[in-house]
Amino acid sequence: MRIAIVGAGAVGGYFGARLALAGQDVAVVARGAHLDAIRRDGLQVKSPALGDVVARVTASADPGDIGPVDLVIFAVKTYDSPSALPLLAPLVGPDTAVLTLQNGVDSADQVAAAVGEARVLGGTTYVATAVTAPGIITQTGTHRSIIFGEAFGDRAAISPRVAAIADVMRPADIQVTPVPDARVPIWDKFVYLAPFAGFTGGARLPIGPIWRRPHVREMFYAAAREVAAIAAAEGVTLSADRFETLAAYMDGIPPTTRSSLLIDLEAGKRIEVEALHGAALRRAAAHGIPTPVLATLYAVLTAWDAGPPAR
């Protein structure tokens, strides 16, 4: 399968490397020092659990150099979407599928506006990776999962193209789960991610020091219930055991775990507060749903949307 990665950073670069090592024809859209390093040294993945590997991929800043592919994986940070979405057009042919793995719940609609609903697959991923130097992606932990399915149209059963893409991912050592309806895993994750990013980012702390406080746990689950209420109003049925699995995960999470939002905040980068808490508030307002906890987290973080504010 011919695959293009738009957003060859921590997430897209990691999965692109895995697919290339499994024999797929992978091209990445990158720029600057990251592009130069990939062209010179390959796309490197360092993983204490899985081993260090180097994948040779086609790399270009211009998607026109790559041309139409079978699958595009769209994995840029949400705040880069306005500049990245136009990069999709040269990669799209008659039968191209575009799989978005971005955080939040807005991405499928945004990608559909660029390439049409019929092409769009939605998904989410659980993987702990970071770009630690140009061309080098470092993984911590062992999770490397993608859960995805159709974002629009008939979502009664797993579609043939979703099943075919899953079959390509499995030999790449990706923990892949195809589903009929992409909205379910996306909102399942959002129930966790919006509170987790909000509380760790707001406190400027990893989860351990704040999770041991009962009031924080109470407010965390209140925020998760706010997200679940929005999902219900949007017509999305969460997994039946979502709050049981959430509780088990949160009680077992390593205390040093930081959200990607907190990592970006500490690095002085832009943060995805608009794609997380902002999106939740906008959708809640449209349905008349009160979201006091999410609104507070948004108020605490929104000044950092574009990076450190001027003082």
Per-residue pLDDT, 75: 98
Per-residue pLDDT, 26: 98
- Map out the domains of the chain as residue ranges: 2-181, 185-304
User: Which tens digits make up the pLDDT trace of 234-251?
Assistant: 999 999 999 999 999 999
Per-residue pLDDT, 48: 81
**Whole-structure pTM value:** 0.95
Superfamily covering domain 185-304:
N-(1-d-carboxylethyl)-l-norvaline Dehydrogenase; domain 2 (1.10.1040.10)
CA 83 and chain centroid, separation: 17
Write a three-state SS string for the chain: CEEEEECCCHHHHHHHHHHHHCCCEEEEECCHHHHHHHHHHCEEEECCCCCCEEECCEEECCHHHCCCEEEEEECCCHHHHHHHHHHCHHHEEEEEEEEECCCCCCHHHHHHHHHCHHHEEEEEEEEEEEEEECCEEEEEEEEEEEEEEECCCCCCCCCHHHHHHHHHHHHHCCEEEEEEECHHHHHHHHHHHHHHHHHHHHHCCCHHHHHCCHHHHHHHHHHHHHHHHHHHHCCCCCCCCHHHHHHHHHHHCCCCCCCHHHHHHHCCCCCCHHHHHHHHHHHHHHHCCCCHHHHHHHHHHHHHCCCCCCC
Per-residue pLDDT, 39: 97
Per-residue pLDDT, 311: 75
Per-residue pLDDT, 141: 78
Q: What is the pLDDT along the chain (311 residues), one digit of tens a residue?
A: 999 999 999 999 999 999 999 999 999 999 999 999 999 999 999 998 778 999 999 999 999 999 999 999 999 999 999 999 999 999 999 999 999 999 999 999 999 999 999 999 999 999 989 999 999 999 987 889 999 999 999 999 999 999 999 999 999 999 999 999 999 999 999 999 999 999 999 999 999 999 999 999 999 999 999 999 999 999 999 999 999 999 999 999 989 999 999 999 999 999 999 999 999 999 999 999 999 999 999 999 999 999 998 87
User: How far is 10 from 13, CA to CA, in rounded Å?
Assistant: 6
Per-residue pLDDT, 276: 98
Confirm or reject CATH 3.40.50.720 for domain 2-181, answering yes or no. Answer: yes
User: Which tens digits make up the pLDDT trace of 47-71?
Assistant: 987 789 999 999 999 999 999 999 9
